Amino acid sequence: MTRVLVAYGSKMGGTAGLADMLGAELAANGLDVKVHDASDVRNLHGFDAVVLGGALYALRWHKDARRFVRRHRLTLQTLPVWLFSSGPLDDSATREEIPPVRYVRIAIDRIGARGHMTFGGRLSADAKGFPASSMARDNAGDWRDPDHVRTWAKEIAEHLHTR
Protein backbone atom coordinates (compact mmCIF):
# COMPACT_ATOMS: atom_id res chain seq x y z
CA MET A 1 0.00 0.00 0.00
CA THR A 2 1.24 3.48 -0.86
CA ARG A 3 2.33 5.40 2.25
CA VAL A 4 1.70 9.15 2.15
CA LEU A 5 2.93 11.78 4.57
CA VAL A 6 0.76 14.86 4.94
CA ALA A 7 2.86 17.48 6.74
CA TYR A 8 1.91 21.03 7.59
CA GLY A 9 3.06 24.31 9.09
CA SER A 10 0.24 25.93 11.05
CA LYS A 11 0.15 28.72 13.60
CA MET A 12 -3.52 28.87 14.57
CA GLY A 13 -4.74 25.41 13.58
CA GLY A 14 -6.51 26.16 10.29
CA THR A 15 -3.83 24.57 8.12
CA ALA A 16 -3.58 21.61 10.51
CA GLY A 17 -7.31 21.12 9.98
CA LEU A 18 -6.83 21.16 6.20
CA ALA A 19 -4.06 18.58 6.56
CA ASP A 20 -6.41 16.36 8.58
CA MET A 21 -9.13 16.72 5.90
CA LEU A 22 -6.63 15.85 3.15
CA GLY A 23 -5.33 12.88 5.13
CA ALA A 24 -8.82 11.54 5.74
CA GLU A 25 -9.76 11.78 2.07
CA LEU A 26 -6.50 10.20 0.89
CA ALA A 27 -7.08 7.34 3.35
CA ALA A 28 -10.69 6.98 2.13
CA ASN A 29 -9.18 6.53 -1.33
CA GLY A 30 -7.07 3.55 -0.29
CA LEU A 31 -3.79 5.14 0.78
CA ASP A 32 -1.90 4.62 4.04
CA VAL A 33 -1.67 8.17 5.43
CA LYS A 34 0.16 9.79 8.33
CA VAL A 35 -0.49 13.45 9.20
CA HIS A 36 2.22 15.33 11.13
CA ASP A 37 3.31 18.83 12.00
CA ALA A 38 6.20 19.56 9.60
CA SER A 39 8.48 20.55 12.49
CA ASP A 40 8.11 17.06 14.00
CA VAL A 41 9.18 15.10 10.89
CA ARG A 42 12.79 13.97 11.18
CA ASN A 43 13.04 11.83 8.02
CA LEU A 44 10.92 10.60 5.13
CA HIS A 45 11.97 6.97 5.34
CA GLY A 46 9.11 4.64 4.44
CA PHE A 47 6.96 7.22 2.67
CA ASP A 48 6.14 6.90 -1.02
CA ALA A 49 4.69 10.41 -1.45
CA VAL A 50 4.40 13.71 0.43
CA VAL A 51 1.74 16.39 0.63
CA LEU A 52 3.08 19.50 2.37
CA GLY A 53 1.11 22.55 3.37
CA GLY A 54 1.72 25.88 4.97
CA ALA A 55 -0.38 28.73 6.21
CA LEU A 56 0.11 32.06 4.47
CA TYR A 57 0.96 35.10 6.56
CA ALA A 58 1.60 38.36 4.72
CA LEU A 59 2.19 36.35 1.52
CA ARG A 60 4.83 34.19 3.24
CA TRP A 61 4.49 30.44 3.60
CA HIS A 62 4.69 29.20 7.20
CA LYS A 63 8.30 28.85 8.42
CA ASP A 64 7.88 25.16 9.34
CA ALA A 65 6.84 24.33 5.76
CA ARG A 66 9.79 26.32 4.36
CA ARG A 67 12.20 24.58 6.75
CA PHE A 68 10.72 21.18 5.85
CA VAL A 69 11.55 21.79 2.18
CA ARG A 70 15.12 22.86 3.02
CA ARG A 71 15.69 19.96 5.45
CA HIS A 72 14.34 17.22 3.16
CA ARG A 73 15.10 18.70 -0.26
CA LEU A 74 17.14 15.80 -1.62
CA THR A 75 14.60 13.17 -0.59
CA LEU A 76 11.65 15.27 -1.79
CA GLN A 77 13.29 15.40 -5.24
CA THR A 78 12.91 11.61 -5.45
CA LEU A 79 9.24 11.40 -4.38
CA PRO A 80 5.92 12.54 -5.79
CA VAL A 81 5.17 15.75 -3.85
CA TRP A 82 2.21 18.13 -3.78
CA LEU A 83 2.14 21.46 -1.96
CA PHE A 84 -0.75 23.45 -0.56
CA SER A 85 -1.26 26.84 1.00
CA SER A 86 -4.03 28.19 3.17
CA GLY A 87 -4.85 31.73 3.88
CA PRO A 88 -7.28 33.80 1.87
CA LEU A 89 -9.92 35.04 4.29
CA ASP A 90 -12.66 34.93 1.71
CA ASP A 91 -14.03 32.41 -0.80
CA SER A 92 -11.60 33.37 -3.60
CA ALA A 93 -9.71 30.05 -3.35
CA THR A 94 -12.93 28.16 -4.06
CA ARG A 95 -13.96 30.42 -6.94
CA GLU A 96 -10.62 30.48 -8.79
CA GLU A 97 -7.21 28.90 -8.73
CA ILE A 98 -4.82 31.12 -6.80
CA PRO A 99 -1.19 30.89 -7.90
CA PRO A 100 1.45 29.99 -5.34
CA VAL A 101 3.34 32.74 -3.54
CA ARG A 102 6.98 33.38 -4.46
CA TYR A 103 8.65 30.94 -2.05
CA VAL A 104 6.20 28.16 -2.92
CA ARG A 105 6.97 28.67 -6.63
CA ILE A 106 10.66 28.35 -5.81
CA ALA A 107 10.02 25.20 -3.75
CA ILE A 108 7.99 23.68 -6.60
CA ASP A 109 10.96 24.17 -8.93
CA ARG A 110 13.55 22.97 -6.39
CA ILE A 111 11.84 19.71 -5.50
CA GLY A 112 9.85 19.06 -8.67
CA ALA A 113 6.46 19.16 -6.93
CA ARG A 114 3.63 17.77 -9.06
CA GLY A 115 1.13 20.42 -8.09
CA HIS A 116 -0.03 23.13 -5.74
CA MET A 117 -3.40 24.25 -4.40
CA THR A 118 -4.42 27.24 -2.33
CA PHE A 119 -7.34 26.73 0.05
CA GLY A 120 -9.31 29.31 1.98
CA GLY A 121 -8.11 29.99 5.48
CA ARG A 122 -9.65 30.24 8.90
CA LEU A 123 -9.41 33.04 11.43
CA SER A 124 -11.12 32.66 14.76
CA ALA A 125 -12.87 35.68 16.30
CA ASP A 126 -10.74 35.30 19.44
CA ALA A 127 -7.40 35.18 17.57
CA LYS A 128 -4.47 36.37 19.70
CA GLY A 129 -1.45 38.43 18.75
CA PHE A 130 -0.87 41.16 16.23
CA PRO A 131 -1.97 41.36 13.42
CA ALA A 132 -4.37 38.41 13.82
CA SER A 133 -6.44 39.97 16.59
CA SER A 134 -7.01 43.17 14.64
CA MET A 135 -7.80 41.24 11.45
CA ALA A 136 -10.28 39.07 13.37
CA ARG A 137 -12.42 42.09 14.22
CA ASP A 138 -13.48 42.38 10.58
CA ASN A 139 -12.46 39.09 8.97
CA ALA A 140 -13.20 36.27 11.41
CA GLY A 141 -14.55 33.16 9.74
CA ASP A 142 -13.76 29.83 8.14
CA TRP A 143 -13.30 29.67 4.36
CA ARG A 144 -11.90 26.14 4.21
CA ASP A 145 -14.09 24.32 1.69
CA PRO A 146 -14.25 20.56 2.42
CA ASP A 147 -15.50 19.79 -1.11
CA HIS A 148 -12.52 21.65 -2.59
CA VAL A 149 -10.17 19.70 -0.32
CA ARG A 150 -11.80 16.34 -1.16
CA THR A 151 -11.63 17.00 -4.91
CA TRP A 152 -7.92 17.80 -4.78
CA ALA A 153 -7.16 14.82 -2.53
CA LYS A 154 -8.98 12.51 -4.96
CA GLU A 155 -6.83 13.86 -7.83
CA ILE A 156 -3.69 13.07 -5.82
CA ALA A 157 -4.97 9.59 -4.94
CA GLU A 158 -5.80 8.84 -8.58
CA HIS A 159 -2.31 9.89 -9.61
CA LEU A 160 -0.71 7.69 -6.94
CA HIS A 161 -2.83 4.68 -7.88
CA THR A 162 -1.77 4.94 -11.54
CA ARG A 163 1.98 5.27 -11.06
Bond before 131 cis per omega within 30 degrees: yes
**Predicted local distance difference test score (pLDDT) of residue 12:** 82
Q: What CATH number was assigned to the domain covering residues 3-161?
A: 3.40.50.360
**Predicted local distance difference test score (pLDDT) of residue 88:** 83
Q: Which residues contact 7 (CB under 8 A, 6 or more apart)?
A: 19, 35, 36, 37, 38, 41, 50, 51, 52, 53, 65, 68
Domain locations in the chain as residue ranges: 3-161
**Predicted local distance difference test score (pLDDT) of residue 127:** 53
**Predicted local distance difference test score (pLDDT) of residue 105:** 98
pTM score, whole prediction: 0.92
**Per-residue confidence of the chain (163 residues) as pLDDT tens digits?**
999 999 999 988 899 999 999 999 999 999 999 999 999 999 999 999 999 999 998 889 999 999 999 999 999 999 999 999 998 878 999 999 999 999 999 999 999 999 999 999 876 656 566 565 555 456 767 879 999 999 999 999 999 999 7
**Predicted local distance difference test score (pLDDT) of residue 122:** 77
Q: How many CB atoms lie within 10 A of CB 13?
A: 12
**Predicted local distance difference test score (pLDDT) of residue 40:** 98
